[in-house]
Amino acid sequence: MIAAELRDHIITALEDVKGRDILSMDVTQLTHITDHMIIARGTSNRHVKALVDRVVVAGKEMGQPARGIEGRETNEWVLLDLGDVIVHVMQVEAREFYELERLWSVETADSESLY
């Protein structure tokens, strides 16, 4: 299976359950742990849970079950490791606070000093 196919299937699954502000980032130049990172927003704990449950099913459909899931206790920020794709499903407060888009952007990585 190609990582891009899994990424596209996961994005479709998130859209099917009304995931908000879905963002896909190619992080191959930034890390060796994964190829793609997807960030999506849920509107409530229940919505985040529904999004996560759908991603788990979508991964299995593609023959890539989740290797790990963190954050299901509160459903404020849930991380799913699907190997070539890592998915973050967050409520709005967590997404705004952590700004993962900025943290993982190539532009930021190129412009910030590591000293």
pLDDT score for 11: 97
Three-state secondary-structure class, residue 49: helix
What is the reported pTM? 0.86
Contact status, residue 13 vs residue 57, Cβ threshold 8 Å = yes
pLDDT in tens, 60-95: 999 999 999 999 999 999 999 999 999 999 999 998
Q: Quickly name the fold that domain 3-109 has.
A: Beta Polymerase; domain 2 (3.30.460)
Q: Does residue 106 register a pLDDT over 60?
A: no
Domain residue spans of the chain? 3-109
Q: Does residue 113 register a pLDDT over 50?
A: no
pLDDT score for 1: 63
